Amino acid sequence: MAIFDNPNYDFSKWRWHAIALSTLVIVAGIGYGITKGIPLGIDFSGGTIVVVKFEQPTTVDQVRAALATGMSGESVIQSYGDEANNEILIRVPQLVAEEGAALEQNALAIVDSINKANLGKSEVRSQEIVGPVIGADLQRKGLYATLASLLGITIYIGLRFRFAFALGAIAATLHDVLVTLAFLFFFGYDLSLNVVAAILAITGYSVNDTIVIFDRVRENLKNKRRDSLDTVVNMSVNQTLSRTVITAGTTFLSVLSLFLFGGEVLEGFAFTMLVGIVSGTYSTIFIAAAIATLLSGKQATARTTAGARKTS
């Protein structure tokens, strides 16, 4: 059984369309980030989140009314997870710049107001308080980790393949990170620790796919020295197409299961992975090889631009 029987699509023909489409999504994402600001979760912005489970059905409005007295500043109150669970999430930004005892005031005030209001029995399911010091620290660490990861992968591919290929791989990976961020913005997910972890996992996954194709290009260049690099690259993409699609499909299925059954805590994580997998597959087929070829020079033939080092 086979999904593609001897596929021979001319992917290089769609190169510019693909680059245009990706640019559009990325620019829209950046535009969103600039105009509306990057939606940071409390891990990075600092603040307080309390998740309360009520015994009786309780609406967001009831909780808002309960909190109206005694809470200052704007708070986000929303139903958490399945409606039937009667769980409500309350998020309050960090009001005070200083640290210390003031840090827990918001959480205490929230629990206190809910206990005083006549809402029946309730239980605090989880409580997160992140001070401004930690928030800033995590922002810096998250950014550094992502950049360092990209750099590390570039260096590795640069060592194993030719430099133009490393640039192609890293362009594809950067593309996936930016596209994933754009979709996170569009669908209203906040950047949290878990989401950044998923983005880092995506950098690994995306480059994984790309390497499979580059490996095949390297192998084909050894045997088909007459053909142009363009032709060899396109042939390699076709040869690995079944594998690319099947792998993406099965990984997508397992992460979909995580998205559907993994619970509220991992929803952002799973969503990020889902977008990243789709973007990673797309960029592998349309972006990575295209950029590697473009950077190698259009008219180059395999003989003069051996994609692999002679020794490998």
Partner 1 sequence: MSKNLRWKVIVILGVVALSIFAFYPPDQKVRLGLDLKGGVHLVMRVQTDDALRLETQTTADRLAEQLKTANIAVGAITVPDALSFGVAGVSAEQDAAFRAALTEVEVNYDRASGAGGYTFTLKPNIVVQLREDTVNQALQTIERRVNELGVAEPVVARHSAADQVLVQLPGVTDVNRAKEIIRSTALLELKQVEQGPFPDEGSARAGYGGNVPPDIQILPGSIEGVPGQPPSTGYYAVRRVAAVTGRDLRNARPTLDENNRPAVSFSFNNDGARKFGAFTQANIGKQLAIVMDGRVVSAPQIQSRIDDEGRITGNFTNQESQDLSLVMRSGALPASLTYLEERTVGPSLGADSIRAGVTAAAGGLMLVTLFMLFYYKLAGFNALIAIAINLIMLLGLMAYVGATMTLPGIAGFILTIGMGVDSNVLIFERIKEELKSGKGVKQAVAAGFDRVLLTILDTHVASLIAAAFLFQFGTGPIRGFAMTLTIGLLSNVFTAYFVSRTLFELTLSRRQAATLSI
Contacts of 302 (CB under 8 A, 6+ apart): 221, 224, 225, 226, 227, 228, 229, 232
Rule CB under 8 A: say whether 125 interacts with partner 1. Answer: yes
Distance, CA of 134 to chain centre: 22
Q: In which region does residue 52 sit, left (phi positive, over 0), alpha (psi from -120 to 50) or beta (all else)?
A: beta
Q: Which of 90, 114, 184, 207 binds partner 1 (CB under 8 A)?
A: 207
Contact segment (CB under 8 A) with partner 1 among 8-16, 113-121, 223-231, 249-257 equals: 249-257
Min CB(246)–partner 1 separation in Å = 5
Handedness of CA 301, 307, 311, 312 (dihedral sign): negative
User: Which of 30, 108 has the CB closer to partner 1?
Assistant: 108
Q: Which of 21, 25, 30, 201 binds partner 1 (CB under 8 A)?
A: 201
Give the separation between CA 149 and CA 147, rounded to whole angstroms: 5
Rule CB under 8 A: say whether 27 interacts with partner 1. Answer: no
Among positions 49-108, residues that touch partner 1 (CB under 8 A) are 51, 53, 99-101, 103-104, 107
Rule CB under 8 A: say whether 120 interacts with partner 1. Answer: no
With helix as H, strand as E and coil as C, how does 178-220 read? HHHHHHHHHCCCCECHHHHHHHHHHHHHHHHHHHHHHHHHHHH
Rule CB under 8 A: say whether 110 interacts with partner 1. Answer: no
Q: Which of 24, 69, 148, 225 binds partner 1 (CB under 8 A)?
A: 148
Min CB(62)–partner 1 separation in Å = 21
User: Which of 219, 227 has the CB closer to partner 1?
Assistant: 219
Considering CB under 8 A, how many residues would be counted as binding partner 1?
74
Q: 78 and 106 in contact (C-beta within 8 Å)?
A: no
User: Which of 183, 269 has the CB closer to partner 1?
Assistant: 269
Q: Which of 204, 297, 303, 309 binds partner 1 (CB under 8 A)?
A: 204
Rule CB under 8 A: say whether 227 interacts with partner 1. Answer: no
CB atoms within 10 A of CB 299: 10
User: Which of 109, 130 has the CB closer to partner 1?
Assistant: 130
User: Which of 193, 300 has the CB closer to partner 1?
Assistant: 193
Q: Which of 127, 139, 231, 301 binds partner 1 (CB under 8 A)?
A: 127
Rule CB under 8 A: say whether 122 interacts with partner 1. Answer: no
Among positions 265-294, residues that touch partner 1 (CB under 8 A) are 265-266, 269-270, 273
- How is residue 228 annotated by DSSP? B
Q: Which of 55, 83, 112, 137 binds partner 1 (CB under 8 A)?
A: 137
User: Which of 21, 264 has the CB closer to partner 1?
Assistant: 264
Q: 199 and 270 in contact (C-beta within 8 Å)?
A: no
Give the separation between CA 28 and CA 42, rounded to whole angstroms: 24
- Closest to 273 in 3D by CA, of 145, 189, 180: 180
Rule CB under 8 A: say whether 258 interacts with partner 1. Answer: yes
Among positions 158-197, residues that touch partner 1 (CB under 8 A) are 160, 193-194, 196-197
Give the separation between CA 95 and CA 132, rounded to whole angstroms: 10
Contacts of 174 (CB under 8 A, 6+ apart): 150
3-class state of residue 51 by DSSP: strand
Strand intervals (E) in the chain: 47-54, 76-79, 87-93, 122-130
